[in-house]
Amino acid sequence: MLKILKYSFYDLSRSLWSYVYFFFYLLLGVVLLFLNNDLSNAVITLMNVIIILVPLIGTIFGVMYFYNSREFTELLLAQPVRRSSIFLGQYLGVAISLSASLILGLGLPFIIYGLFQSGAIWDFASLLISGVFLTFIFTAIAFNIALSYENKIKGFGLAILVWLFLAVVYDGLFLLSLVYFQDYPLDKFSLVASMLNPIDLSRILILLKLDISALLGYTGAVFKQFFGTGLGAFTSIAVLILWVIIPVWRIKYISAKKDF
């Protein structure tokens, strides 16, 4: 698998898109620091961007890479290489290189600005960790979709829909149900509902880390009570890890059955 990973990296390092993402994050970091003139504020603004954009980029890049490397995949399938190594190697190649673009692109301007001397370092770290998790989760989802659909248009469409659902529609439905059922106790429901969506979960984790959960109002108190504890932190990290493991396992499962 390491050899496949190596060649996926090699392939991606020559792709213009990897650099576009890197420079995009770099520019974002520089501009936000310049505009906010303050590390903590920049981290909050950055959170809003990362929570929505990182999943989108992971989804699009994952689907695009998978469809574009079809020839490479077919070539590898006839070689003495395990099938799961081919697909997991390619997946890790994409996910790691996207994470590297994120970490380096955002990290460099913040370090130059004096991140290590400031108290915002852990807030920033939690931002990057959430970003890396979201990259791994959404790239895996993208690979799942691309493996299931031969038709590129269908695959792209579905991938975008999944992103749209988790990033926007889910919150809308969540909010509607809160309004609709407001006469009932909803703290357990809202806890579970936000745990089930990796985007919401990452957002809450970062907000709590930033200690601005007062912004969350009443539910914020409930969330703080739960996520602030050791059990809460453990559960949410475990859920994020599950969000990576389940789609990755499914990549292995579908690819073992697919005809090429």
Binding site for other proteins (CB under 8 A): 3, 7, 11, 14-15, 69-72, 74-83, 256-260
Nearer to other proteins, 82 or 188 (CB): 82
Q: Is 174 exposed, middle or buried (0-12, 13-18, 19+ CB in 10 A)?
A: middle
Q: Rounded to whole angstroms, how far apart are CA atoms 43 and 33?
A: 9
In angstroms, what is the minimal distance from the CB of 195 to other proteins? 36
Give the 3-state secondary structure of residue 131.
Answer: helix
Nearer to other proteins, 3 or 188 (CB): 3
Nearer to other proteins, 62 or 107 (CB): 62
In angstroms, what is the minimal distance from the CB of 76 to other proteins? 7
In angstroms, what is the minimal distance from the CB of 1 to other proteins? 12
Q: Rounded to whole angstroms, how far apart are CA atoms 24 and 182?
A: 42
Listed residue (88, 86, 93) closest to 65, CA to CA: 93
With contact defined as beta carbons under 8 Å apart, do 195 and 201 qualify? yes
Nearer to other proteins, 36 or 84 (CB): 84
Nearer to other proteins, 84 or 190 (CB): 84
With contact defined as beta carbons under 8 Å apart, do 22 and 94 qualify? no
In angstroms, what is the minimal distance from the CB of 61 to other proteins? 16
Nearer to other proteins, 90 or 144 (CB): 90
Amino acid at 30: V
Q: What are phi and psi of 3, to 5 degrees?
A: -65, -40
In angstroms, what is the minimal distance from the CB of 12 to other proteins? 11
Query: Token pair for residue 170?
Result: 């889910």
Listed residue (186, 197, 193) closest to 222, CA to CA: 186
Q: Rounded to whole angstroms, how far apart are CA atoms 81 and 136?
A: 24
In angstroms, what is the minimal distance from the CB of 45 to other proteins? 36
Q: Rounded to whole angstroms, how far apart are CA atoms 198 and 192?
A: 12
Nearer to other proteins, 5 or 186 (CB): 5
In angstroms, what is the minimal distance from the CB of 150 to other proteins? 11
Return the HEC string of 13-39.
Answer: HCCHHHHHHHHHHHHHHHHHHHHHCCH
